[in-house]
């Protein structure tokens, strides 16, 4: 990403898609905080975000474990920019909750969706239940999926271990990272600082 950022900074002309590539690149490489900072720089330069921008930004929130920011950006998409949320945006928020292990909040989120949850939605929740070891939830979601799509039934399924009790987790505990973005720095470690010095040299 240091090389990608160097190339990006030297581009004479940058369109919205170049910014998307950088934001997604940070997200894909586990550098969500840098991706969110890149989005702020983009806005400061007066570029108007579009629907795809917010798909990238919400994905970056998942990479940064930034749950609160995901909801803030999701709302600002509608209130500040008049962009209607699509399935990709809803799935993105679900990914943020799922990747961060907030399964109870993910369930509540699905139940409050403005549309009937599809198999795709339940499949995502099932995947996160498996990742986080909640076999009881995984089994329950699988039953819901079979109701929607009988072809999803698993033949001769191996019994799962006893259900694990899910403790309620506040999705905002320890996740308020807004202050970190007030004066962000792109290069936060020695290696990046050296790379930056080399670029200037």
Residue 26's closest CA among 48, 59, 71, 66?
59
Helix 87-99 and helix 51-63, axial crossing angle in degrees, nearest 10:
10
Please give the model's pTM, rounded to 2 decimal places.
0.69
What confidence score (pLDDT) does residue 181 get? 39
Over residues 38-60, the mean pLDDT reads 94
Q: Compute how many other C-beta atoms are within 10 angstroms of the C-beta atom of residue 140.
A: 17
Q: Rounded CA gap, 108 and 90, in Å?
A: 13
The more confident residue out of 144 and 176 is: 144
Q: Rounded CA gap, 62 and 161, in Å?
A: 29
What confidence score (pLDDT) does residue 182 get? 38
The more confident residue out of 146 and 27 is: 27
Q: 102, 94 in Cβ contact below 8 A?
A: no
The 10s digit of each residue's pLDDT in 183-196 is 344 434 555 555 55
Residue 18's closest CA among 64, 55, 53?
53
**What is the chain's mean pLDDT, rounded?**
81
Q: 32, 64 in Cβ contact below 8 A?
A: yes
What confidence score (pLDDT) does residue 29 get? 93
What confidence score (pLDDT) does residue 126 get? 93
Q: 77, 85 in Cβ contact below 8 A?
A: yes
For residue 94, the number of C-alpha atoms closer than 13 Å in the C-beta half-sphere is 25
What are the residue boundaries of the structural domains of the chain, listed by start?
1-100, 102-166
What confidence score (pLDDT) does residue 147 get? 83
**Residue 153 banded pLDDT, cuts 50, 70, 90:** low
The fraction of the chain above a pLDDT of 70, given in percent, is: 75
Q: Rounded CA gap, 75 and 94, in Å?
A: 14
What confidence score (pLDDT) does residue 114 get? 86
The 10s digit of each residue's pLDDT in 75-123 is 999 999 999 999 999 999 999 999 989 999 999 999 899 888 888 999 9
């Amino acid at each position: 990403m240091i090389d990608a950022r160097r190339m990006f900074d030297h581009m004479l002309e940058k369109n919205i898609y170049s910014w998307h590539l950088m934001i997604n690149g940070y997200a894909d490489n586990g550098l969500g905080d840098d991706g969110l900072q890149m989005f702020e720089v983009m806005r400061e330069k007066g570029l108007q975000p579009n629907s795809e921008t917010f798909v990238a930004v919400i994905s970056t929130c998942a990479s940064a474990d930034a749950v609160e920011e995901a909801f803030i950006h999701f709302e600002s998409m509608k209130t500040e920019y008049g962009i209607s949320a699509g399935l990709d945006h809803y799935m993105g928020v679900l990914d943020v909750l799922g990747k961060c292990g907030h399964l109870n909040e993910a369930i509540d989120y699905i139940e409050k969706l403005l549309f009937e949850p599809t198999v795709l939605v339940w499949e995502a929740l099932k995947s996160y239940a498996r990742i986080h070891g909640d076999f009881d939830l995984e089994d329950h979601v699988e039953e819901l999926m079979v109701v929607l799509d009988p072809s999803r039934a698993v033949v001769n399924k191996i019994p799962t271990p006893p259900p694990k009790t899910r403790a309620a987790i506040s999705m905002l505990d320890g996740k308020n990272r807004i202050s970190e973005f007030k004066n962000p720095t792109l290069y936060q470690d020695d290696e990046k600082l050296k790379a930056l010095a080399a670029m200037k040299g």
